């Protein structure tokens, strides 16, 4: 099935032991996302939808922006509620606000502020039901915050024509080796 829309999610920076934007792991993650995205774009992917969380989603946003000159792809940022960034540090808030202003479309799912974890479940269900597939940076044995999305999307896939692309540590290590061998990573 041709994928017209895709959601991308995964770990937050601290879950990957990334504590500054200069970490080379970010370069590896972005390159891996790019390599996985390009075939979808060549097959006609039109929209990437994220909720704007720090980590994989923000890095995916950067990748999409870098691919826009070569592909007709749009990005939507759909946060689960208003002011989702208000508890984040200043740097993450700045990056989030920049993302919202550069997105092709952005609108919170709920016009309310944070009330309960149920808003995250609603967001995950909405992202899955409104897209043709997902890309998730996830390790089943590690778990972490993406495990809830992964569990939900796996159940959804059993009943629907939905494609799950999982990026795992083996793939990241392979991309890191490629980048090192080509001199793009120190």
Tens of pLDDT, residues 23-74: 999 999 999 999 999 999 999 999 999 999 999 999 999 999 999 999 999 9
Q: What is the mean pLDDT of residues 2-28?
A: 95
* pLDDT attached to residue 181: 96
Contacts of residue 174, Cβ cutoff 8 Å, sequence gap at least 6: none
| Rounded Cα gap, residues 153 and 157, in angstroms | 6
Number of other CB atoms surrounding residue 142 within 10 Å: 13
5-181 folds as: Rossmann fold (3.40.50)
Give the number of C-alpha atoms closer than 13 A to the C-alpha of residue 136, restricted to the C-beta side: 23
Q: Give the span between the Cα atoms of 13 and 111, in whole angstroms.
A: 27
pTM: 0.96
C-alpha to C-alpha distances, 92 to 4, 63, 87, 122, 179, nearest whole angstrom: 29, 17, 10, 23, 27
Helix residue spans in 6-116 (DSSP H): 24-42, 56-67, 90-102
Measured CA to CA, the distance from residue 17 to residue 12 in angstroms comes to 9
Tallying the residues shown for the chain, one arrives at 186
* Backbone angle region of 85, left / alpha / beta, with phi > 0 → left and psi within -120 to 50 → alpha: alpha
Across all residues in the chain, what is the average pLDDT?
Answer: 96
Residues 6+ away with beta carbon under 8 Å from 63:
30, 33, 34, 37
Q: Is the pLDDT of residue 2 over 80?
A: no
Residue given tokens 């995916």 in the structure block: 60
**What confidence score (pLDDT) does residue 3 get?**
86
Higher pLDDT, 186 or 141: 141
Per the structure block, which two tokens stand in for 52? 């704007």
Residue 120: pLDDT band (50, 70, 90) is very high
pLDDT for the residue 1: 54
């Amino acid at each position: 099935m041709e994928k017209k829309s895709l959601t991308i999610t995964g770990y937050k920076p601290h879950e990957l032991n990334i504590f500054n934007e200069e970490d080379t792991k970010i370069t590896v993650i972005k390159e891996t996302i790019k390599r996985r995205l390009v075939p979808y774009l060549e097959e006609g992917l039109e929209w990437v939808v994220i909720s704007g969380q720090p980590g994989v989603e923000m890095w995916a946003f950067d990748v999409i922006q870098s691919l826009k000159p070569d592909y007709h792809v749009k990005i939507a940022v759909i946060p689960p509620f208003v002011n989702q960034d208000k508890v984040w540090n200043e740097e993450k808030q700045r990056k989030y606000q920049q993302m919202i202003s550069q997105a092709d479309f952005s609108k919170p799912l709920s016009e309310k502020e944070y009330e309960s974890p149920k808003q995250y479940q609603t967001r995950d269900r909405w992202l899955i039901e409104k897209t043709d597939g997902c890309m998730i940076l996830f390790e089943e044995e590690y778990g972490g915050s993406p495990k809830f999305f992964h569990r939900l999307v796996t159940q959804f896939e059993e009943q629907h024509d939905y494609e799950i692309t999982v990026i795992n540590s083996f793939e990241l290590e392979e991309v890191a080796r490629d980048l090192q061998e080509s001199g793009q990573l120190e």
